[in-house]
Each structure stands twice: as structure tokens, then as C-alpha cells.
Amino acid sequence: MTDLSTRARQILAELGAGDPFAEDGGLVATSPVDGSELGRLVAHTPAAVDATIGGAHAAFEEWRSVPAPVRGHLVRELGELLREHKEVLGELVSIEAGKIRSEGLGEVQEMIDICEFAVGLSRQLHGLTIASERPGHRMMEQWHPLGVVGVISAFNFPVAVWSWNAALALVAGDAVVWKPSEKTLLTALACQALAAEACRRVGAPQALSQVVLGDREVGEVLVDDPRVPLVSATGSTRMGKQVAPRVAARLGRCLLELGGNNAAVVAPSADLDLAVRGIVFSAVGTAGQRCTSLRRVIVHESIHDELVARLSKAYGTLSIGSPLEPSTLVGPLVDTPATEAFLGAVEQAQADGGRLVTGGTRADQMSGAVTGGQYVVPAIVDMPAQTDVVKRETFAPLLYVLTYAELDEAIALHNEVAQGLSSAIFTLDVREAETFLSAAGSDCGIANVNIGTSGAEIGGAFGGEKETGGGRESGSDAWKAYMRRTTNTINYSTELPLAQGVEFQ
């Protein structure tokens, strides 16, 4: 048993998850830190998933009648448990997902933040009163609990994405069945243990929040079950294109958070010190494995050379190594295929005429890299044009640099890709900023000015357009996805007039 395996087991025990491992388990939990095995777990059978959904549906039928402000007590309790265990849960995120310590802790803080948001929301699930054209009538809208919400999450945000869905779904009156990525099973079990404890403390049904473990077969059961009216799936565009038709075939709802190929425009007026800091974090944070990671920089030709030189210098200062070391800024990629995709994209970009500015190699021999882990040197490639490899999302710290002359050219380059998640412009010109944010500007669900593409706050709705899927999670009115709307008309008169002046005597 490795030191990381021992530590992971200690954390699970501390969080109330017990010992979930089985020697003959078919699911292998590993750590990208050094590639070591953390333990083996047993996958759920389709029959077990079916039973889990049935239990969640029964819990929903009880929970939906609990007043929303009382439902908020459960999420408040979950938030308190997350505060209490932030350090160790953040450490487990680093062990299992490979995030640096600061980002692991930040992800748990994001969970705490969404719980705070949802508790307030539990007293603000407002409907509308609508003027009726008929005398003595009133119309109104109400929002009611939807049912069981299926959550399918990816490895790169192994706990935060679940919390975005679960916190809103629970205050909305729903139950949640979560299928985590096969690459991050232990963090899911840890969160489930905390959710179960929160349910116990407030007397909520234990089956409100459940986890099912397994591969594609387990996910398909969740996707196909008519007792799951909403499937919230986070992952690749390829995955989303498989999930959406299956849910649509039974007329269910989908909330999709898929790929991103995010760009930042750097205008001549930009504060380059600010731009460099924003670009570097967005491009190499989480080793480039965020859906909002910066993939493309579109820089004005007059400042191209200076910006590339500054970025290259900044990249030269990045510390690569174990994410558990406080000084590390760039941890490992999640697995060998991720490394191969990174190296292949760098090679293809150069074949397309790109100039490798820095990085683009394995980092196995560098100080700080841990044997067995997939460590790479973040790359910058100066491209003559937006070729196919640039338009394709590579989930790694690979940044392409493109050049423009006029703002409309930059926006065209920006919008040319199939994905539409996050975007940014660095400029001190209000006209450029407003143009970028306008309907004729960025076509993404997130558009920023003078900050990078990653690091969204929970107060705003998160999601994107085009092949990003169109879903919205987290803040603003994203809660409406987890509820159903009814329009009510109340006649308090003694007459029965029909709408639109119809006569039926």
C-alpha cells in the first residue's frame, strides 16, 4: 500500500465514508500524482442502479412536500460540514484529481459558496402574478419540485460540479443520484458521506443523495430511466452528443456542460502586466484541464512580440511537480492518454506551420516531477492561422497564439470554433470592451473583460453555447432547471368568461 493510499483511507475514515475498498473490486482508484493504486471498489450493477433510483424517487415524494425554507436547513448543514472538513477534503481532491493544494481547497470553498447561495435561494423560489384579461380572474406561476436529478460529473472538478447540482436540487425539493467519473471515485464517496450525515442531522430522507459507481453501463441506466426527469452531465462534447439523444428519446430534460475552446483577445490598449497574469493562470491552472482553460490568445499584431516574450518568460518560472507540495503551480495530467493527446497536438501544430515558443515536452526529468505521474511542460505555440488542431480542444496546458489587425477580425477568429463556453478581452478601450460583450461580439456563455477565462464565481449562471451544450448551473436563475413550472388561473367571480372573447353559449 502506497503512502497516498494510506492517506486517502485515513481521510475517507475521517469524513465518515468508512472503508469502501474490496480486494476483488473491478474499479481501480488511482492517483495522478504518481500513478499509484489507491484502492479497488465494487461497481454497481444495473439492477442496483435501478433500485437506487427507486429509493431516490421515494425520498423525493416525501421531500417535495417539505417547505422550501426547511429544505434549506439540509443544505446549510452540508455547508457547515464542508467548512469543518475543508482541509482534508481538499487534500483528497489533490490526491485523486492531481490539483495543486490551493486549487483543491478552492474547489471545496466553491462547494461551501454554493451551499450559502442555495440556503438563501430556499426562501426566494419566486413565481409570478400575471394580469388576466378576464374580469374576476387572476393568473399566477408556481415552481414545483421536479423529481430525481441524475448527475454525471467529470474528473477535473470532482466535487464542485456535484455540489452545484445537489445544493440547488435539494432546496428545489428534488433527490440526487450521482455517477462520478471513474477517475475520481473516492472524492464522491467522501461527499456522499457528508451528505448522508447532513440528512441524519436534520431528519431528511437518507435516500435523497446517493452515489452509483461504475462505467458507461451505469451511466446509461441513469440516462435512460424515466424516473429521472433531469440529467445534468458534465464532460466532453462527444459524451454530450451520446447522452442528449437518449434523454430526448424519452422526452426528458438535459443540462449539458461540455467542451470549451476558450480564447482571450488582447487589444493594443491592454494592461499587459494584467493580461499576462490572467493568461498564465487560465492556461496552466489545473494543468490546463478545466473546461474554461484558456486555449487561444488572439493578440493585436502591434503587441504580439512583446506579449509572447512576456508569456514565455512567465512560463519559465512555473514550478512543475507534485500537487501536494505547496510551491507547485503545475501538477500532473490525469493519465497517459492525456499526455499523448498533448504531445500529439503540439506535434500537429508544428506540422501546420506553428512555432513552438516554449514547453511541449514531458517533464519527467524535471525537478519536482514524481515518478509514475504524467507531468508535462506547458506549451505555447505561435500559429500562422487557426488550423484544425487549434479548433479542437486539447485538455492540457497548450496555448495557441494568433494575430489580428482589426477587432472584427479578432471576434471572427474567436467565434470560429465549435465550442462556446468562456471568453475574455483585455482592453482599456470601453468601445472595444462593449463591442466584445455585445450580441455581435463573443458567442460564449461567459464573456469577461480584463480577467481570464477561468475561475467563475458561483453567483453567475455557468455554462456555454454551441457544442458546449447550452446548459446553465450554479447562480442567477439556474435553479429553474431543477423545477417544473405551472401556470394557474383562478376565477373568483360568478361568471365564466372565455379568453380571447370566445363565445360558447
Q: Which residues are catalytic?
A: 257
CA-based angle 187:193:197, to the nearest 5? 150
- Residue 309: strand, helix, or coil: helix
**What contacts 24+ positions apart, CB below 8 Å, involve 310-313?**
310/272, 310/276, 311/276, 311/279, 311/280, 311/357, 311/380, 311/399, 311/401, 312/357, 312/358, 312/380
Residue 48's Cα: distance from chain center in Å? 27
Distance CA 108, CA 160 (A): 7
Count of helix runs (H) and strand runs (E) in the chain: 15, 21
- DSSP labels, 327-374: T-SB--BSSHHHHHHHHHHHHHHHHTT-EEEE--SB-TTSTTPPTTSB
Q: Which residues contact 37 (CB under 8 A, 6 or more apart)?
A: 2, 5, 28, 29, 30
- Residue 302: strand, helix, or coil: coil
Asked if 29 and 96 count as a contact pair (C-beta separation under 8 A), the reply is yes
Strand partners, 142: 486
CA-based angle 142:148:149, to the nearest 5? 90
Asked if 379 and 398 count as a contact pair (C-beta separation under 8 A), the reply is yes
Question: CB-based burial of residue 492 (10 Å sphere; 0-12 exposed, 13-18 middle, 19+ buried)?
Answer: exposed
Distance CA 217, CA 239 (A): 13
Sign of CA dihedral 342, 348, 352, 358: positive
Distance CA 455, CA 414 (A): 20
Distance CA 291, CA 395 (A): 8
Cell of 120: 438563501
